[in-house]
Chains A and B, each alone.
Chain A
């Protein structure tokens, strides 16, 4: 092997940049109002407008734009009247990219390529009839070697991983039920959440299977929405409207295979990210006021908790208890309701919730002593950040 890179260089980004504005569409309201003419750009526009207002910035002060799930940066820039941005990028519409968008924005600002970067996401999946499965055209691996067996969808591969976890460690679906119920309980305190009716373990146990062993309540929603967060330097952030939320530590790791799944449930990339974050941060696991964990499907949260060392591999099923993960527990998880109950914004709304918790704006669902919070996404391309309240 070649010499290992010095990952403590990640310290170079520590507390240099901040999220100074966040905005979203009204997730619940438009869930009940399908509109085939609703474009992802329109949703991105609404979120951008909200985030600008939240930050107290003028449109013309934005000089960097990163879009995701929006097919083209050009249309978005055109619609928000940015003719001469000096840092622009487009990331595909997959959940792994939300944390990466924040990383690119932080890198750009910290290195002088932009002063104010707007990260904009728009998703009209529900109105457009997105199914997140069933693709069989083209010459992809999926079309050639998976679809002929009826294999499709991110949920099915996650279900494969969870079944393996069950086999290897004796994990039951009960902890997944706890995660789904907890997400829903948090969403019930979030006026912007799509799903607000609390659920019970009976509801969970009675939910129909999608890709067994996973059931409907393990799955993210499919809904329309837009999200924007605005990043600038920590220095400039001090003069803006809100207490800045600093990008205190951030890291990326990966395990890219042809079949998506990982034999170790992504322990290797997630433990690498945890090592990075806790090596460079003042905060350790006990100091985190919450964790916003990517929950395309509930097992992803379990894999993240194990991978990041909140418990040992295989012990996630016992570790996940309602008391521990609730709003006033040891580690409140997905305080806004997550993808299964608040909104499926592919990690973007989890970032917004983290910011609002650290700014202590969350009303009934506000967690205690929010100084440091975690975002993490376990996937073949994995990310994690510790965000810090910057006062």
Chain B
């Protein structure tokens, strides 16, 4: 399921996320091909991005639970402006999508396995993974198979 994003001899210059104690389980999961987010053990609320307590109960009794990996494209853009290093000229414009996860929270990502002309809001998608290095594997989304 996990495929190499690029050949290893090329250096990767796109921004990489710092891994914190709080977020490490998220990245550990991605490396294993599992998308997981935090759920409250008291009220079962899921949330993303990671936070130290349930935003409803305000308690720190929570755990990382695997989620379905399914969602829909809430919206998407094509980025033409060069804000970051690491994208080669032939990668512009690149696609960024805002995914509404089946469980409720939203997640920015990108789309794979689809051409821009076929993308639409509310497109059903499922998670896939792209390995960047030994630590980071990024979740991405492709059209849902189910």
The chain B residue sitting closest to A132, CB to CB, is B83
Residues of chain B having any CB pair with chain A under 8 Å? 14-18, 20, 23, 48-49, 74-81, 83-84, 87, 93-94, 96, 98, 105-110, 120-122, 136, 138
A293: chain B residues at CB < 8 Å are none
User: Given the complex, which residues of B lie within 8 Å of A163, measured CB to CB?
Assistant: 75-77, 121
Q: Which of A60-68, A210-218, A227-235, A275-283 contacts B (4 or more CB under 8 A)?
A: A210-218
Chain A interface residues (CB < 8 Å from chain B): 131, 133-134, 136, 138-139, 141, 143-153, 156, 159-161, 163-164, 167-168, 208-213, 257-259, 261, 263
**Cα A148 to Cα B132 with chains together (Å):** 10
Chain B residues with CB under 8 Å of A213's CB are 77
Known: A131-B83, A136-B84, A151-B108. A144 touches B18 (CB 8 A): yes
A153 touches B93 (CB 8 A): no
Query: Are B49 and A145 touching (Cβ within 8 A)?
Result: yes
Q: Which residues of B contact A141 (CB under 8 A)?
A: 49
In the complex, the number of residue pairs spanning A and B with C-beta atoms less than 8 Å apart equals 106
The reply to whether B108 and A143 form a contact with Cβ atoms under 8 Å apart is no
CB distance from B52 to the nearest CB of A (A): 12
Q: Shortest distance in angstroms between A166's beta carbon and chain B's nearest beta carbon?
A: 8
Name 30 interchain pairs, CB-CB below 8 A, sorted by A. Answer: A134-B84, A136-B15, A139-B20, A141-B49, A144-B23, A145-B107, A146-B108, A147-B15, A147-B17, A148-B14, A148-B15, A148-B138, A149-B110, A149-B138, A150-B15, A150-B87, A152-B84, A156-B77, A164-B74, A164-B75, A164-B121, A167-B120, A209-B93, A210-B80, A212-B93, A257-B106, A259-B108, A261-B74, A261-B75, A263-B74
Can you name the residue of chain A whose Cβ is closest to the Cβ of B80? A209
* A152–B83 touching, CB < 8 Å: yes
Are A211 and B81 neighbours in the complex by a CB distance under 8 Å?
yes
Chain A binding site: helix, strand, loop or mixed by DSSP?
mixed
Main secondary structure of the interface of B (DSSP, over half): loop
Tell me if A139 and B96 are in contact (CB < 8 A): no
Whether B17 and A144, one on each chain, are in contact in the complex, defined by CB atoms closer than 8 angstroms, is yes
Q: How far is the CA of A302 from the CA of B138 in the complex (A)?
A: 35
B residues within 8 A CB of A263? 74
Per a CB cutoff under 8 Å, which of B48, B75, B78, B96 touches A149?
A: B96
